[in-house]
């Protein structure tokens, strides 16, 4: 039963991702991408990682994708954007990325032959994840937080109002 659900969610994730890649309309592509992320959250849940599943929904589907939609709304490209995208999606542009992805897929399939069954993992409680993150892996957490901080400082710098400052000097 669990295995069936796992493969169903995996199928949904794959189909949604392919559709997200091939849509010309940016809004439609984003909706498929959100569906794909939700399907991945279901996969995490079935593999015994409910905490990762919840974070996938809260952060990826719930926050990052909202910002993507936000950008699309700000640009508001409309019909001409769809036409341009359709041109980019046509024909020869698929050849090189297609070959590269096919190679990766082949490698993945070969590697998976030796991996254990999909849903054999045991469930991990949120507390255990917290203890591991801030225990043996605390260095990784600190490095990630520094990276985010530098991103924040950079965004603040770019977002300053330079014109207002110049007026004050006069």
Partner 1 sequence: MSELDTIGFGLVIIAAAVGGAAILTWFERRLLGVWQDRYGPNRLGPFGVLQVAADMIKLLTKHDWVPPFADRAVFVFAPTAIVVAMLLGFAVVPFGPDLYILDINIGLLFFLGMTSLAVYSVLLGGLASNNKYALLGGLRSAAQMVSYEVFMGLSLMGVVMLTGSFNLRAIVEAQRDLWYCIPQCLGLFTFLIAGIAESHRLPFDLPEAEHELTAGFHTEYGGMKFAMFMLGEYLGLLLISCMITTLFFGGWLGPWLPPIVWFCLKVFVLICFFILLRAAIPRPRYDQLMALGWKVMLPLTLLNLLATGAIALLLEGA
Quick one: CA dihedral 53, 66, 34, 150, positive or negative?
negative
Distance of closest approach, residue 112 Cβ to partner 1, in angstroms: 28
| Residue of 34, 42, 43, 46 that binds partner 1 (CB under 8 A) | 34
Q: Residue 48 region, left (φ>0) first, then alpha (ψ -120 to 50), else beta?
A: left
End-to-end CA distance of the chain: 73
The answer to whether 83 contacts partner 1 (rule: CB under 8 A) is no
| Residue of 1, 4, 73, 111 that binds partner 1 (CB under 8 A) | 73
| Stretch of residues binding partner 1 (CB under 8 A), selected from 112-120, 125-133, 135-143, 160-168 | 125-133
Q: Which two tokens stand for residue 82?
A: 């769809």
| Stretch of residues binding partner 1 (CB under 8 A), selected from 1-9, 69-77, 103-111, 144-152 | 69-77
Q: Report the C-alpha gap between 84 and 71 in whole angstroms.
A: 18
Among residues 6 and 45, whose Cβ is nearest to partner 1? 45
The answer to whether 72 contacts partner 1 (rule: CB under 8 A) is yes
72 close to 30: Cβ distance less than 8 angstroms: yes
Interface with partner 1 by CB under 8 A: which residues? 25, 27-28, 31, 34, 50-51, 53-55, 57-58, 61-63, 66-67, 69-70, 72-74, 76, 125-127
């Amino acid at each position: 039963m669990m295995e069936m659900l796992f493969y169903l969610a995996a199928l949904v994730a794959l189909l949604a991702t392919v559709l997200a890649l091939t849509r010309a309309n940016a809004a439609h592509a984003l909706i498929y991408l959100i569906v794909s992320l939700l399907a991945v959250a279901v996969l995490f849940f079935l593999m015994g990682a409910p905490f990762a599943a919840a974070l996938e929904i809260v952060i990826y589907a719930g926050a990052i994708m909202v910002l993507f939609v936000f950008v699309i709304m700000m640009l508001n490209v409309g019909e001409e954007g769809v036409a341009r995208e359709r041109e980019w999606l046509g024909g020869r542009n698929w050849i090189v990325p297609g070959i590269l992805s096919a190679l990766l897929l082949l490698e993945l399939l070969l590697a998976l032959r030796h991996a254990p069954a999909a849903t054999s993992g045991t469930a991990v409680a949120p507390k255990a994840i917290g203890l591991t993150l801030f225990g043996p892996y605390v260095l990784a957490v600190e490095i990630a937080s520094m990276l985010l901080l530098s991103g924040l400082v950079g965004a603040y710098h770019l977002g300053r109002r330079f014109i207002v400052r110049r007026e004050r000097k006069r």
